[in-house]
Amino acid sequence: MLYRGKGAMAVKVARAHEATSEPTTPRAPKRARRGTGLRGWYRGGGLSTLLLALPVILVFGLFSWWPIIASIPMSIQKNDLVQPASYVGWANFRAVLSDPLLPTAIQNTVWFTLLAVVIGFPVPILLATYAAELRRGRGLVSALAYLPGVIPPVVSVLLWKQFYDPDGSGLFNTVLGWFSIPPQPFLQNAISAMPSIVVQATWAGFGSTTIIYLAALMSIRSDLYDAAELDGGGIVQRAWHVTLPQIRHIILLMLLLQIIGTLQVFTEPYLMTGGGPANATVTVLMLVYDYAFVYGNYGQATALSLLLAIALGVVSIVYYRVTRRWSSS
């Protein structure tokens, strides 16, 4: 569908793609009947499959799905994990929804996500495209790009906190000083704090995404580029008509994961600014943390967690519906 109406070259590339596509796999011969019911399931290898998957099912179920289910009743309890829990109806939800800090936290979280998409999303695509074009040194570029991801998150956040130091001794302000630019407040200013955090988060996270994009790019068959080149397509046209359509599934998936991930941002603002200055970087997950670990109110923490989960579910569904048309082409 992406090729439709994109010009003659796009049509030719699409045809080339079709022409070079793998031949249709012949339908596998029907297996001999092994019987129905339990015996058939057993003879068909059902038991061995189940045994193989059992450890994963158990671990996933015990440590992922069961806690999620168990958190639902907790959200309607007064629960500090020590005293016997008591059911309080919707009081926890009412309390968190009437928290005067919640609108600010939602606004900040959405702002972080938007900035992350604008600042952080294109970076790995561009870098991966550049790396894919390299004839030599691709491995080195990939390794260098991934390097920040090797640093533990807390360490990298604290490192950048030093870089952002507001007096002249901070790395960035030292560099600015070389050009006679006075020290900038970065994290100390309500306007610049969030973009500063996004830049750090982008630096810390772009490496792994670049590797994923690079893998996707390397899987694009070269004959598509050859066809485009024969048609006179330059680098921009090749990228637009070949590269992007070929990795659109990955792009859409990574975008969704980024939106879900950034809407749950916690580590970076918690360590860099503690939500300040003046609540300019407080996020929804920081409120969840405070409810649970500062005020010991696990009921309210879980209630807000569930609301966030529902919001993320809605975002994911809307995103899926909006992008389904692009994905299915």
Partner 1 sequence: MIRSRSRTALFGTATVLAAVNLLAACSSSGGGAAASATYDPKAPVTITVGDEPPTSEAPQRAAFLANVKQFETLNPNITVNATETQWSPQTYQAMLAGGTMPTTLIVPLTEIQSLAERGQVLDLAAYTKNDKVVSAINPTLTKQTTHNGDLYGVPVGAFTMALIYDRALYTAAGLDPDKPPTTWAQVEQNAVTIHQKTGKAGFLIPTVNNFGGFVLTAMSYGNGGALEKTSGSTVTSTIDSAPVQAALQFLHDVRWKDGAFGSNYLLDPDSALKEVVTGSAGQAILAGDRYGEAVFNDQANPDDVGIAPLPQSADGIGTLAGGNISVVSPKASAAQAAAALKWIDFEYLTMYTDKDAAVAAAKASKASGQPVGAPTVPLFDAKTQAQYLEYIKDYIDVPRDHFTAYLNSVDTLPMVLEPTVAAQQIYAMLDSTVQAVLTNQGTDISALLQQNQSQATSLINAAG
| Residues numbered 252-311 forming contacts with partner 1, rule: CB under 8 A | 254, 257-258, 260-262, 264-268, 273-279, 285, 288-290, 292-296, 298, 301-302, 305, 308-309
Q: Are 184 and 192 in contact (CB under 8 A)?
A: yes
Q: Are 320 and 260 in contact (CB under 8 A)?
A: no
**Residue 112 or 225: which CB sits closer to partner 1?**
112
Give dist(CA 140, CA 156) in Å, integer: 21
**Residue 231 or 268: which CB sits closer to partner 1?**
268
Conformation bin of residue 89: beta by default, left when phi > 0, alpha when psi is -120 to 50: left
162 lies in the site for partner 1, by CB under 8 A: no
Nearest approach, Cβ of residue 180 and partner 1 (Å)? 18
Nearest approach, Cβ of residue 74 and partner 1 (Å)? 6
- Judged by CB under 8 A, the residue of 19, 51, 81, 236 near partner 1 is 81
Give dist(CA 254, CA 117) in Å, integer: 11
Q: Count of CB atoms within 10 A of residue 245's CB?
A: 21
> Of 82-111, which residues contact partner 1 (CB under 8 A)?
82-83, 95, 100
Q: Are 108 and 194 in contact (CB under 8 A)?
A: yes
Cis peptide bond prior to 182, omega within 30° of 0:
no
Give dist(CA 86, CA 91) in Å, integer: 12
74 lies in the site for partner 1, by CB under 8 A: yes
What is the token pair recorded at 298? 């696990």
- Judged by CB under 8 A, the residue of 107, 114, 138, 183 near partner 1 is 183
**Residue 220 or 255: which CB sits closer to partner 1?**
255
Nearest approach, Cβ of residue 8 and partner 1 (Å)? 33
146 lies in the site for partner 1, by CB under 8 A: no
**Residue 13 or 201: which CB sits closer to partner 1?**
201
Nearest approach, Cβ of residue 171 and partner 1 (Å)? 15
165 lies in the site for partner 1, by CB under 8 A: yes
**Residue 165 or 229: which CB sits closer to partner 1?**
165
70 lies in the site for partner 1, by CB under 8 A: yes
Give dist(CA 207, CA 280) in Å, integer: 28
Nearest approach, Cβ of residue 313 and partner 1 (Å)? 11
205 lies in the site for partner 1, by CB under 8 A: yes
In eight-state DSSP terms, residue 272 is H
- Judged by CB under 8 A, the residue of 141, 198, 211, 214 near partner 1 is 198
16 lies in the site for partner 1, by CB under 8 A: no
Please give the size of the binding site for partner 1, defined by CB under 8 A.
76
Give dist(CA 229, CA 234) in Å, integer: 7
Which residues, in sequence order, are CB contacts of 127 under 8 Å at separation 6+?
Answer: 141, 145, 206, 210, 213
Q: Count of CB atoms within 10 A of residue 112's CB?
A: 22
**Residue 10 or 201: which CB sits closer to partner 1?**
201
> Of 29-58, which residues contact partner 1 (CB under 8 A)?
none
Residues in the chain: 329
**Residue 206 or 225: which CB sits closer to partner 1?**
206
Q: Are 10 and 329 in contact (CB under 8 A)?
A: no
